[in-house]
Every structure is written in structure tokens, then in C-alpha cells.
């Protein structure tokens, strides 16, 4: 049986790399990792390829804010693996500040990666999936996008925007057999979150009904579920993976 192909942006570490490992473990998927950080990308590919087969992993150094860069990377994947069955728009950055202190460059940077980047990557694969009449796009939102957060005007706005884009694409692409969903992680122990003071993380865990922060594997499992046929009748959904934090 031929393997399917998933593209994961921001794939060099954190949620992206955890997602890649989840797909590779299944034995039924090949993975293409996109990232700007060439050195980390090479290390991730060496690690995952060494454990799951180099033939199942490819990479592209890709700037998601640039449509030409994304299109070239997608074409590379199609040439190597024969197609794209799933896109996970996982790449994201933060540039936090209170609204009255936030600089324009930091607002623009977050919008560029988190929102425009997701659009660019979707734009680069949509016609391919429409022609195949099959595919899954998974956009990474956040509980911050659903409920807001102090000091994260830019981040919250992009993650709310991603939800609007998800629902719009689900309506546009459903008749072509393409499903589009979003995952909204809570506080998850990635490199980005681990820069938050331990006292604050402990407080968040205590407020979470499941009494812990998320693990990258928790989000990876959600990605994998939505990509596969078990979720064949799910589109336009926002799956919160937050341990019940916002109940």
C-alpha cells in the first residue's frame, strides 16, 4: 500500500517534530518538514530518518511568509513523494507585549508568520488537493485565539483569524473532498512555553481540570486523528486540546 504524505510547517522542533513522529510511527505516512531554521531542520530529519527510514522524510528550508518560497517547497515535495495528502499549518511565533507597548514590527511579524503564513501554505496545496478531490488541511490555532490573553494582542488576533480561515476553507473546499479543521492547543510544554516562569506554569496547571500542562504528543495525536479517515466526516471544526482549561 502506498504511503500518504503530510507537510508540517514549523517542523524542526516542538509540536511540529512531535507531529512528524506520530505520523511516521504509524508506518502509513511520509513526512515533509518545512522550517526556516536549516540547522535544526537537518537535525530533525537526521533523527527521524534514522529511526523511521530516510526515504520517509524530506525537508525544505521555507519562509512561510513568502508565497514563492512556499510554492517551491510544495513542488519539491510533490516531485519527491508524488503528492500531498495533508497540510498541517503548525508554524507560529510570539512577540508579546501589552497593547500600549507593542511595536508595529512585532505585530506585523506575528501576523506574517501565524496568519499570512497559514494562508500561503494553504494556497500552495489547495489546487493540488482539489484536483485529487481529497485532502486534509489542519490549522493550528490556540485557546488564546478563542478567549484572548493579556499581552498577546497580535498572537490572539492571528489565532482567531486562523479559525475564521479554517471555517471559510471548509465551506469552499468540502465539495472537492478536502476537509479543513483547526486544533486549539492549551499551554503545552514546548520550547516556546518553557520560557514562561515556572511559577506561572504551575498556576496554569493547577487551574486545569486534568491538573497538568499539555505534552507535545497530545497535540500530535489530535493532528493525526484529524488527518486520517477516522475523521472523514469532520470539517470546519475547532478541536481544543487544553485539558479542560477553558471550561
Catalytic residues, which ones? 155
Question: Which ranges constitute the DSSP H helices of 111-207?
Answer: 117-132, 143-147, 153-173, 198-207
102/135 Cα distance (integer angstroms): 38
Write the DSSP symbol of residue 188.
B
Return the closest-CA partner of residue 117 out of 157, 147, 158. 158
220/208 Cα distance (integer angstroms): 20
Instruction: Please return the burial class of 237, using the count of CB atoms within 10 Å of its CB with bins 0-12, 13-18 and 19+.
Output: middle
* Residue length of the chain: 247
Amino acid at each position: 500500500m502506498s504511503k500518504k504524505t503530510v507537510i508540517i510547517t514549523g517542523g524542526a522542533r516542538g509540536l511540529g517534530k512531535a507531529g512528524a513522529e506520530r505520523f511516521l510511527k504509524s508506518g502509513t505516512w511520509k513526512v515533509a518538514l518545512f522550517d526556516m531554521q536549516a540547522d535544526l531542520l537537518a537535525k530533525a530529519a537526521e533523527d527521524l530518518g534514522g529511526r523511521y527510514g530516510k526515504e520517509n522524510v524530506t525537508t525544505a528550508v521555507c519562509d512561510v511568509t513568502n508565497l514563492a518560497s512556499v510554492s517551491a517547497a510544495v513542488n519539491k515535495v510533490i516531485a519527491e513523494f508524488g503528492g500531498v495528502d495533508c497540510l498541517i499549518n503548525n508554524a507560529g511565533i510570539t512577540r508579546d507585549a501589552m497593547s500600549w507597548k507593542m511595536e508595529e514590527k512585532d505585530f506585523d511579524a506575528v501576523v506574517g508568520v501565524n496568519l499570512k503564513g497559514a494562508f500561503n501554505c494553504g494556497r500552495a496545496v489547495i489546487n493540488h488537493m482539489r484536483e485529487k478531490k481529497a485532502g486534509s488541511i489542519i490549522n493550528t490555532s490556540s485557546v488564546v485565539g478563542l478567549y484572548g490573553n493579556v499581552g498577546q494582542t497580535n498572537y490572539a488576533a492571528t489565532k482567531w483569524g486562523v479559525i475564521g480561515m479554517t471555517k471559510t476553507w471548509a465551506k469552499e473546499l468540502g465539495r472537492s473532498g478536502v476537509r479543513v479543521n483547526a486544533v486549539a492547543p492549551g499551554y503545552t510544554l514546548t520550547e516556546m512555553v518553557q520560557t514562561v516562569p515556572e511559577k506561572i506554569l504551575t498556576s496554569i496547571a493547577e487551574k486545569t481540570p486534568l491538573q497538568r500542562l499539555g505534552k507535545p504528543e497530545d497535540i500530535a495525536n489530535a493532528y493525526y486523528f484529524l488527518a486520517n479517515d477516522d475523521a472523514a466526516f469532520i470539517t470546519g471544526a475547532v478541536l481544543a486540546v487544553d485539558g479542560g482549561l477553558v471550561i
